[in-house]
Amino acid sequence: MASLYWERHPDGPFATLIAVATTYLHPENYDLDSLIELAKREDDEEMRVFKSELREALRDPSQLPGDELWESVEYSDGSDEAFLRQLWHDLYGDEPLDAT
Amino acid sequence: MGACDGLERGEFDVRAPDEPGELAVADGPADRAQPPEETRSTGQAYAELRQRVEGGWEPRKFEAPREELGRFDPERAALPPTSLDGAADYVEEHRAARPWLTMADGASPEARRILAAMDAGGGHSHIRHEGWVTEEASMRRAAYLEDPAQLNSGKRNLGIDGVKPDDKPHRCASTSTRITDPDAFATAFARAVEHPKVREALDKPFDPSAKPNEVIVPIADLLGPDGHRYCTGWRLEPVDGSMKTAQAKRDTWLADRAAGREPDVPEPQVRPVPTFEGGAISFFFERNDAEKRYQIATMFPRPV
């Protein structure tokens, strides 16, 4: 049976990034506005991890586990990198990737 | 003039998505090459035939566990209280404006009560993933992002979402699926609401900015060992061996067409999902701000 990446690998690499992106950006329940609001929370531990994993994935998309990101989110950007770049822009605007 | 300009003026300057390609056969005159008693459109007959031949689907009636469905408490799913009589009245009152409620005509009274509560509660799973959605509509959703919930045919042809406000583009994953029987659909929903994984999501402490993650439950857990036989779907054909590429090209093709350009990528192609055996049902959640609780936003079958 199909299973969800973050259930199979709750402590796996990029599990929070993939889970949050799927919850808000899967085509069947797309809700970017809510994710933008959520991303503004600086005191939210899950969103801190999410941002950190997004930054890490953008620095080196080859570190993402196989096709798990696309298989979960089913984005139509064509590549993990294109999707992640757009996501960073949507959520954090012009904030530099290298900021800590 | 762009497609949206034409839309505002009640005109459409884009080609209908059904002009070119293999799916054109689905859109010929409805009275062509049909036996006299045929009541379906050519497109619907075409899609159903492909679903039977390539997807192995046979329409069948689900035996509703009526006593079990009768015990369903809408409040457990953050839905409005609904009685059997109230559901019948609701369907009659709203069927013109919400034509997907016609699905309830073929349902048991107990399933109708659940479907009416779902409709009144604002979720959209029953609008896009239930038997009201024909095979043709499901096929066109996967190929052309036509939203079955969009009742304006011009907007539907332009891929405009029928549920979201402000004419937002409709989105669809690589696969569009449905549960073909209203009693099966209502049963899956009612049982899911009491399933521990779904229950955990629904019972999470309310956060006005967040929502629970997707949950999946085996089809067999909700509909029994033959439950997969009540599911159908259409899936994009890979492009250059990649489904990821196929989804991107679908967007490009649709954008070109909407802008009046000749698409320089192949027209999207779809085929029936061969089987749902071993598959699951996905549940996504949304906030119910009035109740300060979570509810099921949508549910749909997903093949392995």
Enter the ipTM: 0.94
With a pLDDT cut of 90, the percent of chain B lying above it is 78
Name the DSSP letter for residue B20.
S
Tell whether the model's pLDDT for residue A2 goes beyond 90.
no
Residue B39 banded pLDDT, cuts 50, 70, 90:
confident
Q: What is the pLDDT of residue B2?
A: 33
CB contact under 8 A, B248 and A78: yes
Tell whether the model's pLDDT for residue B283 goes beyond 90.
yes
Chain A residues closer than 8 Å to B275 by CB = none
With a pLDDT cut of 70, the percent of chain B lying above it is 88
If DSSP codes are grouped into helix, strand and coil, which group holds residue B141?
helix
Mean pLDDT for A58-66 is: 95
Cβ contacts from A onto B, under 8 A: 68
Whole-angstrom Cα distance, residue B232 to residue B274?
A: 9
Q: Which residues of A touch B (CB under 8 A)?
A: 1-4, 6, 19-20, 22-23, 26-31, 34, 37-38, 41, 67, 70, 74-79
Which residue of chain B comes nearest to A34, CA vs CA?
Answer: B209
Which residue of chain A comes nearest to B284, CA vs CA?
Answer: A29
pTM for the structure as a whole: 0.89
Chain A residues closer than 8 Å to B286 by CB = 29, 31
Whole-angstrom Cα distance, residue B51 to residue B103?
A: 20
Tell me, rounded to whole angstroms, the distance of Cα B240 from its chain centroid.
28
The CA distance from B85 to the nearest CA of chain A, in Å, is 32
Q: What is the mean pLDDT of chain B?
A: 88
Q: Lowest-pLDDT range, B24-28, B38-42, B176-180, B222-226?
A: B24-28
Nearest Cα to Cα of residue B139 among B61, B49, B29:
B49
Chain B residues closer than 8 Å to A6 by CB = 213
Chain A residues closer than 8 Å to B303 by CB = 2
CB contact under 8 A, B250 and A76: yes
Q: What is the pLDDT of residue B13?
A: 38
CB contact under 8 A, B278 and A22: no
Kind and range of the H or E run holding B257: helix B243-258
Q: What is the mean pLDDT of chain A?
A: 94
Each residue of B69-125: pLDDT tens digit? 999 999 999 999 999 999 999 999 999 999 999 999 999 999 999 999 999 998 888
Q: What is the pLDDT of residue A58?
A: 97
Mean pLDDT for B180-185 is: 96
Q: What is the pLDDT of residue A11?
A: 93
Which residue of chain A comes nearest to B176, CA vs CA?
Answer: A28
CB contact under 8 A, B214 and A26: yes
User: Residue B119: what are its φ and ψ, rounded to 5°?
Assistant: -65, -45
Mean pLDDT for B274-280 is: 96
Each residue of B220-238: pLDDT tens digit? 999 999 999 999 999 999 9
Tell whether the model's pLDDT for residue B126 goes beyond 50.
yes
- Using only the alpha carbons of chain B, give its radius of gyration: 20
Residue A27 is nearest to which of B172, B213, B214, comparing CB atoms?
B172
The CA distance from A99 to the nearest CA of chain B, in Å, is 25
Residue A10: how many other CB atoms lie within 10 Å: 10
The DSSP bridge partners found for residue B22 are none
If DSSP codes are grouped into helix, strand and coil, which group holds residue B177?
strand
Whole-angstrom Cα distance, residue B233 to residue B178?
A: 6
Helix-helix angle A80-92:A45-59, to 10 degrees? 130
> From residue B147, how far is each of B96, B125, B299 by CA, in Å?
18, 12, 16
Q: What is the pLDDT of residue B160?
A: 93
Residue A4 is nearest to which of B214, B286, B304, comparing CB atoms?
B214
The CA distance from A77 to the nearest CA of chain B, in Å, is 6
Which of B171, B174, B207, B215 has the highest number of chain A CBs within 10 A, making it the mutation to test binding with A?
Answer: B171
Residue B32 banded pLDDT, cuts 50, 70, 90:
low
Each residue of B5-31: pLDDT tens digit? 333 333 333 344 444 454 555 555 555
Each residue of B252-265: pLDDT tens digit? 999 999 889 999 99
CB contact under 8 A, B216 and A4: yes
Q: What is the pLDDT of residue B87?
A: 96
If DSSP codes are grouped into helix, strand and coil, which group holds residue B242?
strand
Each residue of A11-38: pLDDT tens digit? 999 999 999 999 999 999 999 999 999 9
Residue B34 banded pLDDT, cuts 50, 70, 90:
low
Mean pLDDT for A36-60 is: 95
